[in-house]
Amino acid sequence: MSDTIFGKIARGELPARKVHEDDLCVAFHDVAPQAPTHLLVIPRQPIPRLSQAQDGDEPLLGHLLRVAARVAKQAGLADYRLVVNDGAGAGQTVFHLHVHVLGGRPMGWPPG
């Protein structure tokens, strides 16, 4: 598994405030929240970037989105934004695929 901070969280080597955990992924609170509710959903499988996912990863990618919706609902969010940054130029700082679940405040458009 990837030796990023998210890989270490997925393996249980680093603590996180987890809100969901299953065989495929882990969801937890972001340590530097950008909204009142800011959760991350990460696959246990180390995929560095969305653009590096393979055709066989489609069931996993769908699972990440379903878990994102589930944890948003559990957090009491009626409206929320999902964000996946792909590459440093897009703002990705940890190269282990992750879905941001942001909510608890109005979201403007365009986002950045």
Q: Which domain holds residue 85?
A: 5-103
Tokens of 17: 């405030």
> How many structural domains compose the chain?
1
| CATH, residue 42 | 3.30.428.10
Q: Dihedral angle at the C-alpha atoms of 90, 93, 67, 72, nearest 10 degrees?
A: -80
pTM summary value: 0.96
Mind listing the pLDDT tens digit for each residue in 39-69? Answer: 999 999 999 999 999 999 999 999 999 999 9
- Whether 99 is covered by a domain: the verdict is yes
Distance CA 79, CA 32 (A): 21
Catalogue the active-site residues: 98
Provide mean pLDDT across the span 19-28. Answer: 98
CA 42 to chain centre: 5
- Whether 108 is covered by a domain: the verdict is no
Contact 3, 94 (CB under 8 A): no
Distance CA 11, CA 9 (A): 5
| The predicted structure's pLDDT at residue 2 | 58
Provide mean pLDDT across the span 20-30. Answer: 98
